[in-house]
Amino acid sequence: MNKAYMEDFQNIILRLEELLTLNRIELENLLLIKDKTYDNFVVPYQLMSEKLNNFTTPIYHLDSVSNSELTQKIYDDTIPILSLYFTELSQNENSYSAFKLIQDNYQDTLTIEQNKVLENEIRDFQLGGCGLDNLQKKELEEIDLQLSKLSKKFSQNLLDATNNWEMICDETDVIGMPSDEKERAKFEINGESKYKFTLKMPSYNAYITYGSSRKKREEIYKAYSTRAPQNGIIIEEILILQDKKGKILGFENYADYSLATKMANTQDEVIGFLRDLASKSKDKAIAELNELKNYAFKLDLLSDFQSYDFSYYSQKLKEEKYDIDEEFYKPYFEKELILKGVFSFINKIFKIDFKETKEEAWNDKVLIYEIFEDDNFIGKIYLDLEARFEKKGGAWMHNWHNRYNINGYLQYPTAFIVCNFPASTDSVPSLLTHDEVTTLFHELGHAIHHLFTKVDQPFVSGINGVTWDTVEFPSQFLEYFAYEKDILKMFAKHYQTGEILDDYSIDKLINTKNYGSALATIRQVEFALFDFLLYQQPRNEEGIQELLDNVRQEFSIILPPKYNKFQNGFSHIFSGGYAAGYYSYKWAEVLSADAFYLFKEQGIFNQKLGEKFKNIILGKGGSIDMNQLFYLFANKKPEVESLLKIDGIIS
């Protein structure tokens, strides 16, 4: 995916249509096979899908990291083409019958991986509409096409709104702000220094956390929380279509449909889990907020306390309570030094090597590493970590190639990690906060789940086939290590002097780990419960806001201003695949906390335990359900108390 690829990007639609034509012909030929077996039908069926995945992934990726009118147009043009193709594929009754026949005839002779492929595909055919009449199938086809378009439009509206806003500040508005943040925001106009802040996450976070002007904090908060108001009507349409889709397929609602591919079994189980988590966290969260309010009232004599005050005073209290100065720590968290240290840690625990390779990519700042186990090449990772104007906000991992070993050919896995860390300049490298360090650990956790797989069948290799509410398990698990002293010492080095961060400073940082943890838990429950209840029935904009207000009234510790339209920017559930599944973060966190406790008990660098985690949790991919894998690894079922303890909410 180099610059030559990007220059030829305008021809990609023609090449996509040619590939889909070949796939359709190949499927027709497969269906003509008289005696279908796993090897002569399912294997080529998977390989056909792999060719398409390898071709289309760069289309979505470039639209996210090098967004332009061209990438938008090509992405938009692919939506109806691919939507039609995947609808045809998912509703093909002959393919569905073939998979069921192979399962009936050969189940006892196939491997665990092969049977899991069959099980998942038969389920997905049913979810795709097989067994429905032609009228219902046609309606599903139209719904999926419209949902694809709406999801893309939601995302593009959000990106445009983020890119099209800026706030200009004077010197008096940035008093006390860290020097590197000021340097990044600084520009000259008529010989006078001014500072520009945007809604891109590093810039927004800088001002909402350190901005000394309360008026300016509200200005940027209001702009951020009211982005893309046109998304309100898009959400209405998405909810109507998702509800129709669920009901056509025989589910009570879309929330019920969503659970068909998750570890949780019922809607009540999810809602009960979230309410239980909130009830056990609320008292601690109230105490945390009261402490923060009292601090703010005492420090600046505030007469009220608003959402746009939260990050600012939280940071100040954190600095005072723990003697933490983010400005002091940032020189010790330089992007490339962190990467070297993190890869050393992964090598120590999992015996995996990352070796940088120089290849052309879509941007000169992209870093590429080849991955080795016992000197054998096993995969490749691309890291695009710095914020750019043309890059969508947030952080994510995306799998490109899936590992498979079929017919004597081994395809190695590849993955992207994309973040929006502060951009380096000629004078300042990319210096991270510790929160951003944990974000990197999180995304690497996703990546190693995909890259360390040993599964031979692509449909259940890496993160493929992993239930959505457990896919966050390895990523959240790896996050915990970012607060371990011995691991911090592997990368917390001053980018200019090479000095390792001292024990006293590391201890102070570790002590902040659970600062505000109950408030953060309540916030995640608010998002998750809103998401899940939202997909139980369609609502108009007013009804959506009413639902969100009701959830906030029940659980939120601090209510945002009425102008806050958080839902219009909730890309995770409207354009990120988490619809009726945002609860997955907390659900998976229970698994990750329990697993991490084993390392705390048996040793952070316990290679025997590391090998077990690598081979069972990471190595098995989606070939076995995660609840079974967790039991194989931990010899027990996960318990929510581990999460509450590790977050310091209960003792």
Nearest to 436 by CA among 312, 332, 309, 581: 332
The letter for the amino acid at 226 is T
Number of H helices, E strands in the chain: 27, 10
Distance CA 81, CA 64 (A): 20
The letter for the amino acid at 579 is A
**Ramachandran sector of residue 191 (left: φ over 0; alpha: ψ -120 to 50; beta: rest):** left
The letter for the amino acid at 313 is Y
Distance CA 439, CA 98 (A): 43
The crossing angle, in degrees rounded to 10, of helices 541-555 and 517-534 is: 150
Active site (annotated) includes residue 443 = yes
The letter for the amino acid at 7 is E
Beta bridge partners of 106: none
Q: How many CB atoms lie within 10 A of CB 126?
A: 16
Contact 423, 387 (CB under 8 A): yes
Contact 450, 416 (CB under 8 A): no
Distance CA 258, CA 509 (A): 39
How far from 125 is each of 31, 90, 109, 463, 565, CA to CA, in Å? 16, 5, 23, 20, 37
Q: How many CB atoms lie within 10 A of CB 192?
A: 9
Catalytic-labelled residue, pool 443, 484, 526, 589: 443
Residues 6+ apart with CB under 8 A from 11: none
Residues labelled as active-site residues: 443
